[in-house]
Amino acid sequence: MVYKNVGFKVFFFIGKGGVGKTTCAAAFAVKVARYKRTLIISLDPAHNLGDVLGVELSEKPTRVVDNLFAVEVDFESMIRSHLENLVDKVKGMYRYLRVLNLDSYIDVLRYSPGIEEYATLDKITEVLKWNISRGEYEVIVFDTPPTGLTLRIMALPSISSIWVDKLMKLRIQILDRRRIIEKITGEKIKTIIGGRVFEAPSKPEDDPVYNELVRIKSDINLVNSIVKNPATTTTVIVVNPETLPIVEAKRALNFLGKLGIPVKYIIVNKVLSVTQIPENLKPKIEEQERALRMINEYFTNLKVVKIPFLCEEPKGLSKLQNISIHMDKILAEVEG
Ligand SMILES: Nc1ncnc2c1ncn2[C@@H]1O[C@H](COP(=O)(O)OP(=O)(O)O)[C@@H](O)[C@H]1O
Ligand SMILES: [Mg+2]
């Protein structure tokens, strides 16, 4: 894998629903923004980044403080534009398909499996490409949906890479055969649809389908080269000191390892710390002790960051500091 040095840092905060991904991502972004121009993007269809930051957010970057901008992706419009884009491309590539009313399929395609994942990956790609060309932000933080959806999104570049390679090979074979037929007949292959004549391209450089596959492949390579590059991307798993989020995080870590996406930090959020343990809290504290031992055992290669359970809900810029004061370890990634 050839890593691309993009000149900015990327952070993903992942984990089970409710563990505190958005809170941790937001607290981290607020702190980083003191040193670096930062963008935080919520990719969770159930947004609460705006609530956590205490600022109303939209599709367009909103300034939160001096150097911090935030976005809540509008899922419906993102999926719609992903599908419209797709239909436009198909119409461009297979001009004879214009006789079908492809637009009428968009409403149905909206509910086809995998569409959220592809549209989200499109969005991530768009943001990364945009920042490569504009150099607007020094740090981009992605606040992600709960684990399952995030893993499926993160798997897409690797999965897509396999089928795009296959499709490219197939397309080259088709074009080779077209050229053989052209040699024999001495003319281009033609299709007549609705009284109109369409000439089939036979060289890869003239073929819109092949060119589109080349473009998809280059986007996939770009995303892979960014998310798999530990010098650019830091993935942080967030858990609570409870069994279920930890077991889920372990599975996520194994899966990401298979994809070649490195994870460096585990945040244990909402750690209860009490000097005198009330009787009724004892089982909870014991459970927490067991969970912390599990974390040490399961995640030997990760740096552990503990954040206490706060009695006041960490919402708004000043309260988020009570979270970010524990994140200096992760901050080193931006300075390094
Ligand atoms: N350290 C903490 N102490 C107390 N409450 C917390 C802490 N971290 C997060 N919370 C609360 O937990 C809830 C879920 O947090 P959130 O960041 O939305 O989780 P996620 O994004 O993982 O679904 C929110 O009400 C948030 O304010
Ligand atoms: Mg969240």
Q: Which ligand is nearest to the CA of 46?
A: 2
Q: What would the pLDDT profile of 148-170 be if each residue is shown by its tens digit?
A: 889 999 999 999 999 999 999 99
pTM (predicted TM-score): 0.92
Cα distances from 185 to residues 86, 163, 178, 182, in angstroms, run 34, 33, 10, 5
Nearest residue (CA) to ligand 1, atom 19: 20
Is pLDDT at 336 greater than 60 in this prediction? no
Is pLDDT at 53 greater than 80 in this prediction? yes
Which ligand 1 atom sits nearest the alpha carbon of residue 17?
23
Question: What pLDDT score does 97 carry?
Answer: 62
Question: What pLDDT score does 325 carry?
Answer: 97
According to DSSP, residue 205 is labeled G
From CA 291, how far away is CA 272, in angstroms rounded?
A: 12
Q: Which ligand is nearest to the CA of 72?
A: 2
Return all residues near 266 (Cβ < 8 A) that are at least 6 apart.
Answer: 236, 237, 238, 239, 249, 295, 299, 302, 303, 304, 305
269 lines ligand 1 (CB under 6 A): yes
Percentage above 90 pLDDT, the chain: 76
* 61 within 8 A of 156, measured Cβ to Cβ: no
- Taking all residues of the chain, what is their mean pLDDT, rounded to a whole number? 92
Q: What would the pLDDT profile of 208-264 be if each residue is shown by its tens digit?
A: 889 999 999 999 999 999 999 999 999 999 999 999 999 999 999 999 999 999 999
Residue recorded with tokens 């004061």: 325
Taking the CB of residue 142, how many other CB atoms lie within 10 A of it? 27
Domain boundaries, the chain: 9-335
Which ligand 1 atom sits nearest the alpha carbon of residue 269?
1
For residue 112, the SS3 value is coil
Ligand 1 centre to CA of 240 (Å) is 10
What tokens appear for 40 in the block? 């935080």
46 lines ligand 1 (CB under 6 A): no
Residue 314: burial class (beta carbons within 10 Å; 0-12, 13-18, 19+): buried
Question: Which CATH number, 3.20.20.70, 3.40.50.300, 3.30.43.10, 3.40.50.2300, labels domain 9-335?
Answer: 3.40.50.300
Ligand 1 centre to CA of 196 (Å) is 61
